[in-house]
Amino acid sequence: MKTFKINNSETTQALGQRLGQIVSPGDVILLDGDLGAGKTTFTKGIALGLGIQRNIKSPTFTIIREYKTGRLPLYHMDVYRLEDGGGDELGLDEYFNGNGVCVIEWSQFVANELPKNHLTISFKRDDSNLDSTNRTITITASDAHYEGMMAQL
């Protein structure tokens, strides 16, 4: 486990960017935390690290957005609005088994459909004041592959 105390959104994005530079094909990154905690901001950083120039928009209504102009394809998912078992219909498995990088916001909503191995990144506001920019970012790795990745952050 690794913990970062962060006090501005640029630093959250920069951490995501470092991750985007080191991810490999088939990697699965889970982003958990409340609304506004920083999951999409972090994903913007991952995209930058992958060399994706397009602006990353939150896929809250589309559920999945694909970006194919970077070093690896990026599959950005926000499964907050997914009904129970809806991951089946979306064909999540094909994304997980593909050669792109899957980044999943609110992954707890598809907990039963996730691959066994992944990197989990939790975002937490340190403060109940919604204007506060302080966040605690906690990273956990499920296996040696993701531990190696975590060690480079």
- Our CB check for ligand ADP shows the closer of 8 and 24 to be 8
Q: Which does 27 bind (CB under 5 to 8 A by kind): Mg ion, ligand ADP, none?
A: none
Q: Which does 146 bind (CB under 5 to 8 A by kind): ligand ADP, Mg ion, none?
A: none
Q: Could you tell me the CA-to-CA distances from 60 to 31, 78, 98, 114 in Å, in that order? A: 14, 5, 22, 19
* 135 sits near ligand ADP (criterion: CB under 6 A): yes
- Our CB check for ligand ADP shows the closer of 37 and 50 to be 37
* 130 sits near ligand ADP (criterion: CB under 6 A): no
The pair of three-digit structure tokens given for residue 116, joined into one six-digit string: 């066994």
Q: Which residue is nearest to ligand ADP (CB)?
A: 38
- Rule CB under 5 A: choose which of 39, 76, 118, 135 binds Mg ion: 39
| Positions that interact with Mg ion (CB under 5 A) | 39-40, 58, 105
